[in-house]
Structure 1
């Protein structure tokens, strides 16, 4: 069984012409322009993984027959000969668990600051140890993703078995005072959070995801200041922090004191200063600002004080942009040569790194949320009301447009997962034009199909199926769609 990677979804005529197909149904636009019947689309489920056993066996026989007789008559029994059979019992060249691990490392792990080669090596070494807590966790994640791509119930069942084994290992670890604060235990919890994101089927699973995220928050608190003495401690904190903030926003609760304290320890740590010197971290963190945004959204109280606080936060976000060093800036270029389906408005952004690109999108999401709060809290009696409303609408649409333009920068890299939440915000925002929201929905579907993330497809479906009278912003409807929005990053 051979995995062929990403395969064109386009119609046969577009594939032969080697042009981008818009995949429109019942027929694509290019066929329509040629005034020819569109031949339709392939079933990717049947060709993504192909059983090549028969072809490989025939090739092996041919090579064997071409060998000199002196080598054929050897009395040594070659293991490969036992595989050459017209009836093969094990079509996979390696155990499915190992195949899943390979999928995980190729799709979800990247080597780019702040996640160094040491981080990758640690995960790989941990996986290589039989009985290690991260071994079953990594396999559970990989199996869940493969089952999504192949629609394979047996693989999905196997992923749940490995998931349950991981939970057993986690329970055993947290009962041990030393293991409870180890990097491996926290990473295992982060991986089961990722599993719930990938495997997410129905809204009932939301509570499992939320419970794992809250468990990770407890571990962060137990680990104390010492966790930031190493680079890995900072890396693990960065992985789980966005998930904690998402729960606060969805459940309309203030940022927990434990996260505020942990965040302060991180901001004042040596590793954070080191990342700033290496231009991995921005000169000023926007996460303290995000804490304030979430706290205001949690109260849903109006009044002059709240309006002034929102304006102050808006100014803080503008100051963050103004205070960036030149190597944090991006350039806007013509999208010529880029994949047509990834482009929005024919323009693309060029960022110094994908980590910086993600930071910019996080900033854009915050600006969208703040301006949604402005629209929600401004009253006509306030001086300058009309101007502030018009400005807020313009900023929301500009930030959403920039998110769409940033998409080609991520390509098909592992960092494409970081686009799930920004694209969902764009698709959900009712102030955006229909073509922009459609672009965001299509990109979500692409991420879901190419990365095995069911969550992305569910979010796209939730937009299409959303009632016309349902709230159309993340601030107004944080609890309407209880789906894990922020991916593993």
Structure 2
């Protein structure tokens, strides 16, 4: 949303004809001369606010195209490489992430080309944009520059925190979110067990200081809900119970959202899952208690799935006789599903993988349970696991199978196995990685589904060039020799934002950018 200035006082006829309106009462002189009724004059205290999302996207894409042209017109621009990297990274970040992948970050649109932007926000955006660009083309130059910007932003936000007034400002909270995003982007897969959540905790502290009730509907509220999700994931990966302020955030947000929407219900149940995981890690619950609580939450998730339509409707496709059927779907399961968009696909799969994790806990706890019904509970859980795995597998071909179900996602004119992928297509594939890890991690996964899932992860790593898939495969290989890694700990690998390695040619960026690219980290 962008402030467009105060409206003109002129009457409607004068505004349409771009005439100077003398604003006489009761009718202006121009209308009197023409013998027409004067509509009167507007209230000048009204603000003009317009949605600039499409404009921002087209503007950023135009900049990228201009940068491509400049490499042919003025190759000597290389001496200004850091500045060019900054512009490219910023435009790519706003185009592909802020305006496409995550609405949580649309609060940044107000800072696009705004001269009044606080310095720590400007530096934070620059740091995140450079880190984002670095991970697209493995540019060490962009990464190093991004780290310097990050350090400067950190210094500026620490100064802001010294003043009670600026500490409570919205921009300070937003700055903390940007610092956390930078940490996620630059995080290496080797940091799986050393993930830091300092900026998430810092942003949460600022929310407590400011008061949840002060956050307003719109982009500010979406940023707050994004933090709530971040805190939930951090709690799951560290084994801690949910902070009370997260529930306060939900209570406040309930005034502005549709609480009957499946996504809202699912996010609420994830808080229960998080608290159960924290209790389980303490080791104070009996087997019977773990089974009972897991079954209760699983039944609630099943109810969300049952009542999800029409908000989460998708189309089921049956296939048979295809010459390469085993590569499209797991053996014995000749179907795939087509979802309206990436978000709905992801929400369904989050629900399914959560049910898998709960049912795995049920099966494991039933082994030591003295409940006479434990065998039946275990059998039901195993059936649910297989059902959820089949549903997850059915969601994959629409994204990954470029020769069949995902062929429509390829750029026009693509032929054969040699083709490129658009950034939105890669994003579609990216959201599948963690879900596929949970399928392969599951002890009760059928062998055919496990083999097919591993092949899909290899395809995502090799064909789409997404390095998180390779990192997840590495974790799975280690688990064959060592103990299994908790899925929410493994999520720290996947949690980083769009860290796949892409070449400048794949992204259609200037060729000179290739000179700044290093081997993938």
TM-score (norm 1): 0.68
Question: Cα–Cα, structure 1 residues 264 and 347, in superposed 2: closer, same or farther, change >3 Å?
Answer: same
Deviations 1:80-114 (CA, angstroms, capped at 9, x unpaired):
xxx3x7x66448696211111112123322358x9
Candidates 379, 392, 397, aligned match of 1:403: 392
Gaps of 5+ in 2: 1-66, 400-408, 410-422, 499-521
Indicate the RMSD between aligned Cα atoms, in angstroms: 4.0
Residue 317 of structure 2: SS of its match in structure 1? strand
Decide whether aligned partners of structure 1 residues 436 and 213 sit closer, same or farther in structure 2, where only a CA change above 3 A counts: farther
Question: Which residue number in structure 1 is paired with residue 482 of structure 2?
Answer: 469
Q: Deviations over 1:432-485 (max 9, x none)?
A: 3332331453365369835xxx655433332234452322653xxx55x58354
| DSSP 3-state at the match of 2:380 | helix
Equivalent in the alignment of 2:355: 367
Larger Rg: 2
Matched residue, 1:18: none
| Mapped contact 1:423–1:444 kept (Cα < 8 A) | no
Aligned length: 397
Q: Deviations over 1:189-220 (max 9, x none)?
A: 22322222221126558656321222222233
Query: Which residue of 185, 200, 223 corresponds with 1:198?
Result: 185
- Counterpart of 2:434 in structure 1 is 421
Residue from 237, 242, 256 that aligns with 2:243: 256
Distance in 2 between residues matched to 1:472 and 1:93, nearest whole Å: 40
Per-residue deviation at 1:335?
A: 7.4
The answer as to whether partners of 1:375 and 1:389 remain within 8 angstroms in 2 is yes
> After the TM superposition, which residues 282-293 of structure 1 pair with which residues of structure 2 at under 5 Å, given as runs?
285-293=268-276
1:438 aligns with 2:454: yes
Structure 2 equivalent of residue 376 of structure 1:
364
Aligned 8 A contact 1:423 1:441 in 2: yes
| Mapped contact 2:120–2:154 kept (Cα < 8 A) | no
Q: Does 1:333 align with 2:317?
A: yes
SS of alignment partner, residue 206 of structure 2: helix
Please tell me whether residue 162 in structure 1 is matched to residue 145 in structure 2. no
Q: How has the CA–CA distance of structure 1 residues 132 and 211 changed in structure 2, closer, same or farther, with 3 Å as cutoff?
A: same
Alignment of 1:156-235 (within 5 A): 156-201=143-188, 203=190, 207=194, 209-235=196-222
Does the CA-based 8 Å contact 2:288-2:371 persist in structure 1? Answer: no
Assess if the C-alpha contact under 8 Å between 1:441 and 1:460 holds in 2. Answer: yes
Q: Distance in 1 between matches of 2:210 and 2:94?
A: 26
Question: For the structure 1 residues 188 and 386, does the alpha-carbon distance in structure 2 shift closer, same or farther, using more than 3 Å as the test?
Answer: same
Residue aligning to 1:145: 132
Render the CA deviation track for 1:235-264: whole Å, top value 9, x for unaligned: 113322232222222222222223233333
Cα separation, 1, equivalents of 2:71 and 2:145 = 28
Q: Please give the residue correspondences for 1:10-409 in structure 2 after superposition, counting only pairs within 5 Å.
A: 56-57=72-73, 83=74, 89-90=78-79, 95-111=84-100, 115=103, 120=106, 122-129=107-114, 132-201=119-188, 203=190, 207=194, 209-266=196-253, 269-273=254-258, 281=264, 285-300=268-283, 301-334=285-318, 344-345=329-330, 347-378=335-366, 379=368, 381-407=370-396
Q: Is the 8 A contact 2:134 2:140 kept in 1?
A: yes
Which residue in the other structure is 2:16 paired with? none
Secondary structure of the 2:256 match is: helix
Question: What is the match of residue 518 of structure 2?
Answer: none
Equivalent residue number for residue 495 of structure 2: 486
Q: Distance in 2 between matches of 1:415 and 1:135?
A: 29
CA contact (8 A) 2:479 2:485 kept: no
1:319, distance to aligned residue in structure 2 (A)? 1.8
Q: In the aligned structure 2, how far is the partner of 1:197 from the partner of 1:191?
A: 10
Aligned residues of 2:355 and 2:388 also touching (Cα < 8 A): yes
SS in 2 for 1:442: helix
Counterpart contact for 1:140–1:162, Cα < 8 Å: yes
Shift of 1:308: 1.7
Instruction: State the secondary structure of the residue aligned to 1:348.
Output: strand
